[in-house]
Amino acid sequence: MEWNVHQQMLLAVFAIAAAMGALVSKTNFCTMGAVSDWVNMEDTGRMRSWLLAIGLAIGGLLLLEMAGQVQIPDNTFPPYRTANFAWLRYVLGGALFGVGMTLASGCGNKTLVRIGGGNLKSLVVLAIACAMAYLMLWTDFYANAFDSWMSPLAVNLSKLGIKNQELGSVLGGILGIQDTTSLHRLLAAGISLGFIAFAFSSRDFRGNSDLIIGGAAVGLAVVAGWYATGGGMGQAWREFAEMADTPPSRVQVQSLTFISPMGDLVHYLVDGRDAALINFGIMALLGVIAGSLVFAVATRRFAFEWFPDLKDFGFHAVGGILMGVGGVLSMGCTIGQGVTGFSTLALGSMLTFLAIVGGAAATMKLQYRFL
């Protein structure tokens, strides 16, 4: 059978995500754990691993852009560099997601990894988060509950003479610089090297191969996603979609994110099961589970786990609700905004990153106080 370019793209992202899922499972890379270690034990190891992932993603994307291999437009999925700076979505959505991932014992990516390892608690979280993401993306719920009062508060940067919310464009607009390409490259290089240097400034971090491999796996997987959809194969993918009788969904330039694909998965299952609805995000989601499953079985770590009591179920259920709602609202999760979006130097992604960390940290402090 001759595979078309859409099928080739889906296979490529599945392979990328599966490799990342296996390595994340092996190294215990976890963004919620990173915040927990930092807040509760003053251990910055996994936070440095997360920052390493961000630094590598920024640097890798910069190199691809400079080599002319990838061009990041304003209409990526999600639209990271859009001129519409929906600051309240980033703050509220990020905070809700941060609370949710703490209650659910892991972010979207970690939930998928745990499912691959046999964790049935995470399977319940996934089902609930999928349902809420579907509600936000594919029904009128978001428009009625959030958009009507949030949209008027968004800032249209183009009216301020700023092209988009990429950090170089914002600073260039403030400073009156017309061509911000050099400024963008300087900022990206500086932030990338700064994050990587900070990560490796710790002797404990340098001596822990799992922390290094986990961060590198996530960062490079995001770069691979950008290359796949923004390079030559991505161009052919989009041209194929334009000519197809039934165009595949979500063929914009994009990389790894895990909450909106949860909603898309439900959309595929309940709205016709049309193969054209199987997109980049769904295959990434399934790839992480598959990679984690293969690793768990191969290393004999696969083990079923269930809720010890109704209280634990309640926490995880509420966590799944907040992850689904907050992740769509903020247009990404700890990977989707915290690494992929951050790699584009979008201000909204940086704001979401801070809101997620803040929401998670506050929840952990309250848990410690009351529990």
Domain that holds residue 358: 5-370
Token pair of 241 as six digits? 């979609």
Q: What is the mean pLDDT of each run of 10 residues along the chain (371 residues)?
A: 79 98 97 96 97 98 96 93 97 98 95 97 98 97 95 95 96 92 97 98 97 98 97 89 88 97 96 88 98 97 96 97 98 97 98 98 90 70
The predicted pLDDT at position 1 comes to: 37
From residue 32, how far is each of 135, 322, 341 by CA, in Å?
Answer: 25, 14, 18
Token pair of 3 as six digits? 């595979």
Domains: count for the chain? 1
Contact (CB, 8 A) for 118 and 305: yes
Q: Is 24 exposed, middle or buried (0-12, 13-18, 19+ CB in 10 A)?
A: buried
The predicted pLDDT at position 227 comes to: 97
The predicted pLDDT at position 2 comes to: 46
The predicted pLDDT at position 3 comes to: 63
The predicted pLDDT at position 310 comes to: 96
